[in-house]
């Protein structure tokens, strides 16, 4: 656009006889003088002024091939390659037997990815062409033909490879080839490659709205929804009615709305509601694996919170069956542990260690030890089982479970079943005493002795005293050894 305006301005100067450039009186200047000033402007880095001077020279001498070649060099410097190619073509129309011009045009055509045009120009040339250049033009043209044929016959992996080969000949823009390669990569699921290639295209052509759309779709498929939204919005600023970007933006927003609703419900303890929201999101597009797999693990956690251990294991097994990952196997092992499938959990954790990276090895080994500890504790007194909570329970969940069970099994409330209630009450208090203390819980989870004389008749806080501490109706702290304290039942 800038070049066209410069040419138009120069033409107006000439037609109207206004021979002034940037306040300089150019009346009576010869074509040679304009060329000289154009060369100086180019040396000074003032390319726009150089274009103006050289166009003035061409108005006076329209058949001067050398001036076109000077203009070609300026356009090359300005990275205006289409204009540079036009300059070469005009120079050759004046001097068709010039080997240097011919060589430069072939090189520029290949560099722009216009290899078929380069091959055709070689065949039509009236002079002997450099053999190496001619061979490169033919090879590049053949690769483009093969790439396009592979693309249109939906052999996208082959197409992407062939476009890449053709692009090895291209030094400059080649955005058309890069665009077709990016589309081929999208069809093969190589989304990071799509992002890389469309990024290059947008750097050259910031108004390429289809590239914004494709890049947004690639980010979406990678599960990077915020980046997808940003790209769709950027294109919609230029064209609010761009169909692909409107649809893409709407789709991602729908996923995000349901995802957030599920997370809010989960955080609020509404686990069934959370599961429903997450499945509604997953079912929008079950092929969206980058969303489906991590969301399925959230569903597993919600089922575990509900005590639906068999369902949690079933859903997590789907994750592992589709894509065996360390994260998925750990989640499966945790679900199996919560469901008291301890030996199966250990197998899952061991399999995770087998496929873990060096970075994850240590954590994988810790998971195995946790599984072995859980198996050992399942054959002894299992504090988690006593409170009816998973090993992943939060402090709040541990406290809630204790309060509910302590009230249920308090001996004063179970006069007709005093022996069993006293034992249960004792176990419940003991479990809470350990799991509510970070240091004791850490020891217990690692399978270490929690109390010095663990293994028989160990002394610990009196369960009734412990109960009073946590049910002080006055809202203050517990009073070990304090006066009478009663909770009314029934």
Query: How does pLDDT run across 164-209, given as a tens digit for each residue?
Result: 998 888 876 667 899 999 999 999 999 999 999 999 999 988 999 9
Classify domain 385-470 at the CATH topology level.
Helix Hairpins (1.10.287)
CA 97/CA 85 separation, integer angstroms: 17
Those residues with Cβ within 8 angstroms of residue 339's Cβ, 6 or more apart along the chain or in another chain: 309, 310, 312, 313
Beta bridge partners of 21: 24
**Distance, C-alpha 114 to centroid of its chain:** 33
Domain boundaries, the chain: 2-137, 142-254, 271-382, 385-470
**Residue 21 contacts residue 52 (beta carbons within 8 Å):** yes
266/392: higher pLDDT: 266
CA 424/CA 405 separation, integer angstroms: 9
| Class of 271-382 in CATH | mainly alpha
Query: By C-alpha distance, which of 393, 390, 389, 345 is closest to 370?
Result: 345
Report the length, in residues, of the chain.
490
Indicate the range of 34-43, 251-260, 342-351, 377-386 predicted with least confidence. Answer: 377-386
Q: How far is CA 153 from CA 148, 150, 157, in A?
A: 8, 5, 11
Four-way CATH pick for 142-254: 1.25.40.10, 2.60.120.430, 2.60.40.10, 1.10.1510.10: 1.25.40.10
Query: How does pLDDT run across 110-141, given as a tens digit for each residue?
Result: 888 888 899 999 998 888 888 999 999 999 89
Query: How does pLDDT run across 62-109, given as a tens digit for each residue?
Result: 999 999 999 999 998 988 888 999 999 999 999 999 999 999 999 999
Same fold, 2-137 and 385-470: no
Query: How does pLDDT run across 427-476, given as a tens digit for each residue?
Result: 888 889 889 888 888 888 887 888 765 544 444 566 666 666 666 644 43
Q: How far is CA 400 from CA 274, 307, 381, 404, 436, in A?
A: 21, 15, 20, 6, 11
Q: How far is CA 358 from CA 333, 349, 355, in A?
A: 20, 15, 9
Query: How does pLDDT run across 368-406, given as a tens digit for each residue?
Result: 998 998 888 877 788 888 888 888 888 888 988 888 888
- What are the structure tokens assigned to 174, written together? 């080649």
Beta bridge partners of 24: 21
Query: By C-alpha distance, which of 201, 140, 147 is closest to 169?
Result: 140
The CATH homologous superfamily to which domain 2-137 belongs is Tetratricopeptide repeat domain (1.25.40.10)
């Amino acid at each position: 656009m800038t070049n066209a305006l410069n040419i138009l301005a120069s033409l107006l100067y000439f037609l109207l006889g206004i021979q002034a450039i940037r306040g300089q009186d150019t009346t009576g200047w010869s074509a040679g003088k304009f060329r000289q000033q154009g060369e100086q402007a180019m040396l000074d880095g003032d390319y726009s002024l150089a274009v103006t001077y050289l166009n003035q020279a061409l108005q006076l001498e329209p058949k001067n091939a050398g001036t076109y070649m000077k203009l070609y060099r300026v356009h090359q410097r300005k990275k205006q390659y289409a204009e540079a190619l036009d300059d070469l073509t005009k120079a050759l129309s004046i001097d068709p037997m010039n080997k240097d011009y011919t060589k430069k045009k072939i090189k520029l055509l290949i560099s722009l990815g216009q290899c078929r045009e380069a091959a055709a120009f070689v065949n039509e040339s009236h002079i002997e062409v450099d053999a190496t250049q001619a061979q490169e033009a033919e090879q590049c043209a053949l690769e483009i033909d093969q790439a396009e044929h592979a693309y249109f016959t939906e052999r996208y992996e082959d197409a992407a490879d062939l476009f890449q080969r053709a692009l090895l000949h291209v030094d400059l823009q080649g955005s058309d080839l890069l665009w077709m390669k990016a589309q081929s990569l999208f069809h093969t699921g190589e989304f990071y490659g799509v992002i890389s290639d469309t990024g290059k295209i947008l750097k050259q052509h910031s108004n390429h709205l289809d590239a914004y759309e494709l890049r947004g779709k690639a980010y979406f498929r990678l599960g990077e929804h915020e980046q997808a939204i940003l790209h769709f919005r950027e294109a919609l600023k230029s064209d609010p009615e761009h169909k692909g970007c409107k649809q893409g933006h709407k789709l991602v927003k729908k996923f995000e709305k349901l995802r957030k609703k599920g997370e809010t419900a989960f955080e609020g303890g509404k686990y069934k509601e959370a599961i429903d929201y997450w499945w509604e999101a997953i079912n929008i597009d079950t092929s969206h694996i980058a969303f489906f797999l991590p969301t399925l693990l959230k569903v597993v956690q919600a089922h575990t919170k509900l005590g639906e251990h068999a369902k949690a294991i079933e859903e997590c097994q789907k994750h592992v069956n589709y894509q065996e990952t360390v994260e998925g196997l750990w989640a499966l092992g945790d679900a199996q542990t919560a469901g008291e499938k301890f030996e199966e959990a250990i197998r899952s954790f061991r399999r995770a260690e087998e496929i873990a990276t060096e970075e994850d090895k240590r954590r994988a080994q810790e998971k195995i030890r946790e599984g072995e500890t859980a198996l050992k504790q399942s054959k002894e007194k299992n504090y988690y089982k006593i409170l009816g909570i998973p090993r992943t329970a939060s402090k709040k969940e541990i406290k809630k479970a204790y309060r509910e069970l302590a009230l249920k099994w308090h001996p004063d409330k179970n006069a007709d079943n005093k022996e069993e209630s006293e034992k249960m009450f004792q176990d419940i208090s003991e479990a809470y005493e350990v799991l509510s203390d970070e240091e004791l819980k850490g020891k217990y989870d690692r399978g270490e002795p929690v109390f010095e004389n663990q293994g028989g008749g160990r002394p610990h806080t009196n369960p009734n005293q412990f109960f009073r501490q946590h049910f002080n109706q006055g809202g203050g702290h517990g009073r070990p050894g304090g006066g009478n304290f009663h909770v009314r039942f029934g």
